[in-house]
């Protein structure tokens, strides 16, 4: 992982200050922490994986290790000189927005993968039903097809539950984003 990728994971610009990096990390970590998905093992596993990536990106940006082509932790100084024109509160709000944006991207990716899985499960149900209907004279084949239908149905229900959970989280993030944007308007 290089600096650009680490900044992308946190949803920050190239000239982000170290303070903005810390704020974006905290915001994203709160949103993606695996404990928030304790009720759903699949989502918790994905959140754990994304949380590890988030931690690696933060460590790289804070330590300055792994920076290539002369870009070092001095870029934090450039960010602070740039941010001297804006208030600390505004910088914090912008960093929180960046954290929300990064978390949203990851949650949307998770939701999209569950949409794909649900589509595949529905296809398995349909094919299983057709095989069971057309080959009902072959009891063993109809039985296998029936199992595929039940398995597909269970997978459709569980993925729909996961999709709904992720959609709720995305809606909560959208509300938080609107709140932060209104606070930024009040400042500006």
- The pLDDT of residue 74 is 37
- Domain span including residue 128: 94-139
Residue 86 has pLDDT above 90, yes or no: no
- The pLDDT of residue 175 is 93
Tens digit of each residue's pLDDT (9 = 90 or more) over 24-69 = 888 888 888 888 887 788 888 888 888 888 888 888 888 865 433 3
- H or E element in which residue 38 lies: none
pLDDT category of residue 188 using cuts at 50, 70 and 90: low
Inside any domain, residue 50: yes
What gap in Å lies between CA 37 and CA 18, rounded to an integer? 29
Once rounded to an integer, what is the mean pLDDT over residues 158-175? 92
Inside any domain, residue 121: yes
Residue pair 17/91 in contact by the 8 Å Cβ criterion: yes
Inside any domain, residue 150: no
**Residue 54 DSSP SS3:** helix
- The pLDDT of residue 85 is 54
- H or E element in which residue 33 lies: none
Whole-prediction pTM: 0.62
Total domain count for the chain? 2
**Do residues 60 and 7 both lie within one domain?**
yes
**Do residues 100 and 56 both lie within one domain?**
no
**Do residues 99 and 51 both lie within one domain?**
no
For residue 94, give the nearest of 105, 104, 83 by alpha carbon.
83
- The pLDDT of residue 68 is 38
What gap in Å lies between CA 158 and CA 155, rounded to an integer? 5
- The pLDDT of residue 33 is 83
What gap in Å lies between CA 91 and CA 83, rounded to an integer? 7
- Higher-scoring residue by pLDDT: 134, 92: 134
CATH number at residue 10: 1.10.287.110
- The pLDDT of residue 131 is 92
Inside any domain, residue 26: yes
């Amino acid at each position: 992982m290089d600096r650009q990728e680490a900044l992308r994971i946190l949803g920050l610009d190239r000239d982000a200050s170290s303070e903005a990096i810390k704020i974006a990390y905290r915001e994203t970590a709160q949103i993606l922490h695996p404990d928030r998905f304790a009720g759903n093992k699949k989502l918790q596993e994905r959140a754990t994986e994304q949380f590890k990536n988030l931690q690696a990106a933060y460590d790289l940006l804070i330590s300055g290790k792994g920076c290539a082509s002369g870009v070092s932790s001095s870029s934090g100084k450039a960010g602070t000189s740039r941010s001297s024109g804006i208030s600390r509160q505004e910088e914090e709000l912008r960093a929180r927005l960046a954290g929300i944006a990064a978390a949203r991207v990851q949650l949307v990716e998770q939701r999209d993968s569950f949409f794909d899985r649900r589509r595949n499960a529905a296809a398995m149900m349909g094919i299983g039903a057709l095989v069971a209907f057309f080959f009902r004279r072959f009891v063993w084949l109809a039985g296998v097809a029936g199992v595929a239908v039940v398995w597909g149905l269970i997978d459709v229900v569980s993925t729909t539950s996961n999709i709904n959970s992720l959609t709720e989280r995305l809606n909560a993030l959208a509300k938080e984003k609107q709140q932060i944007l209104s606070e930024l308007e009040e400042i500006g």
